[in-house]
Structure 1
């Protein structure tokens, strides 16, 4: 029962649409009608407000981390893993927005950092390296996600393989249109409109 409670709390925390809240508070408009329609930091950046995008990035990654850290403190590691996975699910499919949320890269990275910081930093390093070399944000996210279960295995954190695999699969599902554009060469590069 405790594990179910932490999964529900993680989901609810993850489903807080910080990008939407920040955009509305700053008068930037409804993110669902801007750019990709996504509620995450990348689409907030399309409004032209870097501070709003940075705040969204930090809050979206922070909500995954907070779910993990709170659950671990009050209920242990298994609850932390469930809460982290549920927070990621909540970001992608928030009840408040008709289950139409973001792609969850920031929440994914924040969750991994809180679960096992070397794993999270490894995924961040893969994202940064891929972004520096390829200049394509979505490809960087896909590579970080794909390698996260492998990193968990290599670090001997077999308990984190299922949750990292779960989040990786969802990242690939949420990036379907990006994958199509990557395959036909039309995916935009970082810094280009």
Structure 2
């Protein structure tokens, strides 16, 4: 059992480190020589990179951040695929019961890593792209449905944060609609709530009518790490 628990713990650590990989920070530092945390919203995520460097780098950061989430969940699936081959799963472990819960913990770990990167003094992004990656790996139907909600609200408003918040609210409903395990439903609820909390300054600006749209320069100062 000790070996099995160590393997599970190692997966969670790797998931956190994957999330911590500061894609946006590195991209902006390499291409423009500045700290992304000191411009725009102060976030290291794709939206702030888009505003700072343009569509190409923004899309690249979005893709890599999304892949971080996919890889974190894929690690769990690989563990449950390979561990039985090498007799590393104790007889007392019910894989069907354990896997959804480890998926949940790995998802939360990679999401936390993206927003609280150990490489950036526990600052980072808002975990939207990375969270979407985890959803696509858990259930592509849930991932696409959540992305669809984001796209709808973004198309109407041209405000990324509004689409992100709408998706974070809808994801739990989609987990239920597509008959996902209880652990994954709880992951959607907790992860969605965390994403909303990460957007609290955006919510304040949305309520004040000052949240900038894509293509419109914002006037906000860089946010303090939260």
Normalised-by-shorter TM-score class: over 0.9
Distance 1:84 1:4 in 2: 13
- Aligned twin of 2:30: 25
SS of 1:188's partner is: coil
How far off its partner does 1:172 sit?
A: 1.1
**Structure with greater Cα Rg:** 2
Would you say the 8 A contact 1:13–1:90 is kept in 2?
yes
- Aligned twin of 1:35: 40
Distance 2:108 2:35 in 1: 27
- Aligned twin of 1:175: 199
- Aligned twin of 1:190: 214
SS of 1:192's partner is: coil
Which shifted more, 55-64 or 73-82? 73-82
From 147, 152, 157, the equivalent of 1:129 is: 152
TM-score computed with the length of structure 2 as normaliser? 0.81
Distance 2:66 2:33 in 1: 21
Would you say the 8 A contact 1:81–1:115 is kept in 2?
no
How many residues of Structure 1 are paired with residues of Structure 2 in the alignment? Answer: 193
How far off its partner does 1:159 sit?
A: 3.0
Bigger relative contact order, structure 1 or 2, given CA contacts below 8 A and separation 6+? 2
Structure 1: unaligned runs, 5 residues or longer: none
From 66, 72, 78, the equivalent of 1:61 is: 66
How far off its partner does 1:34 sit?
A: 1.3
Which shifted more, 22-31 or 129-138? 22-31
Distance 1:86 1:63 in 2: 11
TM-score computed with the length of structure 1 as normaliser? 0.94
The RMSD of aligned alpha carbons is 1.4
How far off its partner does 1:74 sit?
A: 1.7
Structure 2: unaligned runs, 5 residues or longer: 81-98, 218-226
Whether 1:71 aligns to 2:94 is: no
- Aligned twin of 2:169: 146
- Aligned twin of 2:89: none
Would you say the 8 A contact 1:19–1:56 is kept in 2?
yes
